[in-house]
Amino acid sequence: MDKKELVVSTLESLGYVPQADNDRGIFFPFQMKTIYVILGEEDETYLSVVLPHFAEIGEGEDAFVLAVCNKVTRNLKLGKVYVDQTCKWVSAACEFFYTDERCLRESLEFSLEVLGIVRSVFRKVKDDFLKNTMN
């Protein structure tokens, strides 16, 4: 079984309905969003699980949102929250290496748990920043 088949099989065993794309990636619905799994090289046991575009950046909010992203990343430590290349959206990712199928399964479950809470944490940190700047 190649890497893509292994990841698809593991996600299916977790109850998800993954689809493979042509660019060495996999995507599937998760909490009313789409999660992407970026596979990297075939011989690497490295994955990046990405939640793209979960928050839009309003006009003039660039520096503020970047500060929020930095704080969320520092607080979570297990996920990266960042402004994407368009500078219009906030995305998040969990990256990991796995050693075997069991490790892959556990790491995928944990990554999805982290990405499941990242939106809430982002909103809370953003609201806290706004409250502190208003006072």
22 or 119: which carries more pLDDT confidence?
119
pLDDT score at 135: 64
Question: What CATH number does domain 3-134 carry, 3.30.1460.10, 3.30.160.20, 2.60.40.1120, 3.30.420.480?
Answer: 3.30.1460.10
The model's pTM is 0.90
What is the pLDDT at residue 15?
Answer: 97
Please write the tens of the pLDDT for every residue from 43-61.
889 999 999 999 999 999 9
- For the segment 8-18, the average pLDDT, to the nearest whole number, is 97
Q: What is the 3-state secondary structure (H, E, C) of 67-99?
A: HHHHHHHHHHCCCEEEECCCCCEEEEEEEEECC
**7-34 mean pLDDT:** 94
